Structure 1
Amino acid sequence: MGKRFVPLVLILLLVILHAQLWLGRGSVPNVSELQQKLDLQKAANAEAQRVNEQLASEVRDLKEGLEMVEEKARAELGMVKPNEVFVQVAK
């Protein structure tokens, strides 16, 4: 009886460990899914970082001089200087 008990226990432990590897919390499919989520989040973070840098650049330009204010007023509000003629070219 003792000769059969040890191999059965070892096989049972092997089956349990194998089940954890494929079905448990840290299983191969679970890790793969988490890696995909991580990659998507990294891409979203990179895009948000790019937008933040662009906004910081605009803020810096607005603080440093009036050229950016004038450009924004012309582009977004259609403002023109006195004695200036606005010409719009359609493409």
Structure 2
Amino acid sequence: MRIITLALAALLLIIQFPLWLGKGGWLRVADMEAQVAVANKKNMELKARNAKLDSEVRDLKDGTGAVEERARFELGMVKQNEIFVQIVRKGQTPPPPQAPADTGATH
């Protein structure tokens, strides 16, 4: 009777092995679900980034506001007959003045 009990217990363990550690076992499924969750999070972040870039591209293609804003802040450009005023706080040193952009055309 004792041998039958041990044999049945061993058989039960052998049957449980694929369920826990096999190709489609619970541990592997949990690991795959974690990987899918990480991939979904990354995809959502990339979709948000793509939407932002798409919006910026459409704004640059259709409107002049974005181009003007970039010219002002990144290149320090001003419109003709426009006065540039820079406010420097106490203890802050102003950035060096930028030379006017040369068009590179010589006649």
TM-score > 0.5, shorter chain as reference? yes
Code of the residue aligned with 2:34 in structure 1: it is Q
Q: 1:27 aligns with which of 4, 25, 28?
A: 25
Q: State the 4+ residue runs in structure 1 displaced beyond 3 angstroms.
A: 10-17, 87-91
In structure 2, relative to structure 1, the CA distance for the partners of 1:87 and 1:32 (3 Å cut) is: farther
Q: Flag structure 2 segments of 5+ consecutive residues without an equivalent.
A: 1-7, 90-107
Superposed counterparts of 1:7-86, under 5 Å = 14-86=12-84
Q: What RMSD over aligned residues (CA atoms) do the two structures have, in Å? A: 2.5
Partner-residue secondary structure (3-state), 1:86? coil
- Aligned counterparts of 1:63 and 1:17: Cα–Cα separation in 2: 64
Code of the residue aligned with 2:79 in structure 1: it is K
- Aligned counterparts of 2:9 and 2:47: Cα–Cα separation in 1: 52
**Superimposed CA distance per residue, residues 20-68 of structure 1 (whole angstroms, 9 cap, x where no aligned partner):** 0111111111111111111111010000000100111111111112111
Code of the residue aligned with 2:44 in structure 1: it is A
Aligned residue pair count? 85
Residue in 2 aligned with 1:6? none
TM-score, normalised relative to structure 1: 0.74
Q: Flag structure 1 segments of 5+ consecutive residues without an equivalent.
A: 1-9
Q: When you count helix as a share of all residues, which structure comes out higher?
A: 1
* Pairwise CA distance, 1:81: 1.3
- Aligned counterparts of 1:90 and 1:35: Cα–Cα separation in 2: 54
